Chains A and B, each alone.
Chain A
């Protein structure tokens, strides 16, 4: 295989979401892009993988930097004893010898029956909620990538209150009005709070300082006199605060975004992407890039990246050095003016550019790890049946009698999507098994068959929280409380696979609690890189994963929530885009004069122009697209 040409404006290494958005934007802006990935799947750290793929991903990650405490098991298929073997929560990071990896883990792969449906799984390495407004959705729509992907609304949000109860979160005006369990006074308080969040008064300089200093939950109870259950619902269910210390300023901004998003596509602020979400979006952006001329090479290892003096000093062009890239299986070396990579792909180079690993891992001291978990179960948490509304104090068991109270209105379809939030320390109080509590918020996103994340009758739960990097706790330990709680809650609902013979005596599924055993359980810790994208060299960027917000209060790094990721990634891509395009602008406008115009089918791409920086040549064919339809808002 050989390339049509070997020099490109930009070489992108890794097809992560940020890189893919950037790729599409650059191609659209008429820069030549070559996009490489070592993996044979798209989206790199954002990928959606099948069961067998995630199994080999996990096995290959034991030795990867950035990932630690990884533990994968298939409890439902392993020995009859349901309890998973007490996993040696050894710090996997510490030993790199491949031989010892196997010892950590059950050597068993995924169960046979599950493998038969392997392609029905789209398990995301970067589960995300997509806010209905914001840079991410705008870019999806403007780039037309939205038409490649499919989405669902997040149907339910609930806050965990005890091993027996979850409380549904009223998150919109409509919800609050309709809420039977809320007293009039509470309703008024809530409305006032939401109005304030939406007003933006809190953003005024005279308020900022004060709000910055006060933790949100305290603010809610002191200033707005909200009762504890509403504090919980607002702080963790609406603002998705990751800890009880989150500043009011940050949380109000989230609440405002939440309110703005609610109603755009339905009664929820968030969408979930089907087929695993982010990985699918990355594929869509990559396709958009290809459609505009980007060249894609997957499953070829990038071996080396070096600076090289420009050989063909073209007419008029400043003789400058270029990046020279050696790719396994390609005869020619690829050259590029710019390189945008991922930390991981730079790490895996046989040689690393001299400049790349300069910064010592000093940031470790205050560093944070994301703790992730993926559970696949054979039944959902039934948010409709299980959840109580705040204030209605009865527990789930109490619902037995009042079968008719809520049930008749709702069609009896299991929920497809739901977000269950475990507020900080909510798991310790009731002494959940193993004392597996956690002092930060744990989010659990449930996705069912209708999201095309898993086969019919199964449900994927993505868990996410954070922990200081120095903490010795294993991912399993940190998440165990939440996992136990999910298994217990799921035990209240019947298996989603319709079992035709349901013993008729028991009229309520709640009463036949069963032990639920996960089909897959994967947990790990993932180091968060320092903030922003890192400029490694004049024309070499490395995109950290997960993306971090660069603005906002810098006093504390808080890792992105599920809902922040897509926007942060989009912003990351946009910043890189402008840096590259800004500097290329001059030379491009010269080069463009001689470059053939891009072929374009106006019927397909009407109104979806790339950022038309003024270069005379383009403007004549893009006039119709000029009206504020830039790739990036």
Chain B
């Protein structure tokens, strides 16, 4: 994980520049900390005992990368991953995805692999995928460097989102090198993070931002705009550019030309 030069995170006063809008979808087993990672990124906040995600359609966060401003539109699964009931709409036009697992829970890593497969099947072929091992704060302090502990079908005890007060040092169940090797061979970005301490979280998003072929997407949506039909870059952006209609924009003009008489 190289430290990024760019400072990502909230940008208070950005020059008037149209940000490049990017849809990023979160995936991963229930309770691996999907929402927590995002919350850390978006609000630099962490909630212990966070309840399963409710109430947010998507969160947005801008991120500056060299001379570019990127606006992430981050979609949470809203629990629809539980029974494999994510709609195709969820993957639609996603340019990036963060597949998250819990480093203390082997089954969540297996699940992550299956989500990667699902993405490769359902999503844009050139989607940027980041594999993220979360909850490294749960590992004992000694361990956090590098340690391939025993292969981990062993315990599923820490399966809840909530780190219990007493159990603050759990065993690593997914060796870092194993996950990293898998990521490498599948062409994924790889990170380990702690949403709780914030370690590694910003890097996930900056590295994703760096890897998104922005110019390609821009060229495409420009082409789409002139051709009157798009090949689906940037949902909201391209939607409007390629002859799409934004329903929310019609409200005010109502009445002006709405009725012929």
B-binding residues in A (CB < 8 A): 1, 4, 41-42, 119, 132-133, 137, 140-141, 144, 146-153, 172-173, 194-195, 198-199, 259-266, 271, 274-275, 280, 283-284, 286-288, 290-293, 295-300, 411, 413, 416, 448-450, 452, 456, 598-601, 604-605
Contacts and interface: CB of A to CB of B under 8 A. Distances in A.
B66 interface: no
A194 B260 contact: yes
B212 interface: no
Contacts of B17: none
B247 interface: yes
Nearest to A284: B89
Contacts of A280: 89
A137 B247 CA distance: 8
Interface string B38-80: 0000000000000111111111000000000000000000111
A398 B24 CA distance: 53
A452 B244 CA distance: 11
B84 to A, nearest CB: 7
Contacts of B242: 450
A413 B92 CA distance: 25
Contacts of A605: 55-57
Nearest to B231: A456
A338 to B, nearest CB: 21
Contact of B89 (A265, A283, A449): A283
A4 B54 CA distance: 14
Nearest to A172: B260
B100 to A, nearest CB: 18
Contacts of B83: 1, 295-300
A271 B247 CA distance: 10
Interface in B223-261: 227-232, 235-236, 239, 242-245, 247-251, 253-254, 256-261
Among A4, A147, A195, A259: residue with most chain B CB under 10 A: A147
Contacts of B228: 411, 413, 416, 450
A151 B245 contact: yes
B87 interface: yes
A150 B55 contact: no
Interface residues of B, number: 48
Given A296-B79, A452-B232, A601-B59, A133 B260 contact: no
Contacts of A295: 79, 82-83
B258 A275 contact: no
Contacts of B92: 275
Given A133-B254, A293-B79, A300-B83, 14 more contacts: A147-B248, A172-B260, A262-B260, A263-B258, A264-B250, A264-B258, A271-B245, A275-B88, A290-B79, A291-B78, A293-B54, A299-B84, A448-B229, A601-B56
A294 to B, nearest CB: 8
Given A147-B248, A150-B244, A296-B80, A598 B260 contact: no
B251 A198 contact: no
B82 A42 contact: no
B111 to A, nearest CB: 12
Interface of B: 51-59, 78-80, 82-85, 87-90, 92, 122, 227-232, 235-236, 239, 242-245, 247-251, 253-254, 256-261
Contacts of B122: 119
Contacts of B253: 263-264
B259 A599 contact: no
Given A288-B57, A290-B78, A598-B55, A195 B229 contact: no
A297 B260 CA distance: 47
10 nearest A-B pairs in the assembled complex, by CB-CB distance? A450-B229, A263-B257, A290-B78, A283-B87, A146-B247, A173-B260, A150-B239, A296-B85, A283-B89, A298-B85
Given A195-B261, A287-B78, A598-B54, A265 B245 contact: yes
Contacts of B254: 133, 264
A503 to B, nearest CB: 24
14 contacts: A1-B82, A41-B88, A147-B57, A149-B89, A152-B245, A194-B260, A198-B261, A275-B88, A275-B89, A287-B80, A288-B57, A292-B54, A296-B79, A604-B56
Contacts of A262: 258, 260
B51 A599 contact: yes
Contact of B260 (A198, A288, A292): A198
A265 B245 CA distance: 7
A283 B88 contact: yes
B82 to A, nearest CB: 7
Nearest to A267: B257
B190 to A, nearest CB: 27
Contacts of B80: 286-287, 290, 296
B51 A265 contact: no
Given A274-B244, A450-B243, A263 B54 contact: no
A141 B247 contact: yes
A148 B239 contact: no
Contact of B256 (A195, A263, A290): A263
B96 to A, nearest CB: 18
A599 B54 contact: yes
Contacts of A293: 54-55, 79
A68 B27 CA distance: 41
A264 to B, nearest CB: 5
A264 B252 CA distance: 9
A497 B229 CA distance: 13
B58 A604 contact: yes
A132 B249 CA distance: 12
Given A150-B244, A295-B82, A300-B83, A413 B59 contact: no
Among A1, A150, A456, A599: residue with most chain B CB under 10 A: A150
Nearest to A596: B51
Contact of A153 (B87, B245, B248, B260): B245
B259 A198 contact: yes
Contacts of A150: 235, 239, 244-245
B248 A132 contact: no
A449 B229 contact: yes
B251 A141 contact: yes
Contacts of A4: 52
A291 B260 contact: no
A140 B250 CA distance: 13
A266 B79 contact: no
Nearest to A290: B78
Nearest to B78: A290
Contacts of A261: 258
A132 B260 CA distance: 14
Contact of B230 (A119, A287, A450): A450
A448 B257 CA distance: 28
Contacts of B235: 150
Contacts of B250: 132, 264-265
Nearest to A600: B55
A141 B259 contact: no
B245 A266 contact: yes
A633 to B, nearest CB: 13
A600 B85 CA distance: 23
A299 B83 CA distance: 9
A266 B257 CA distance: 9
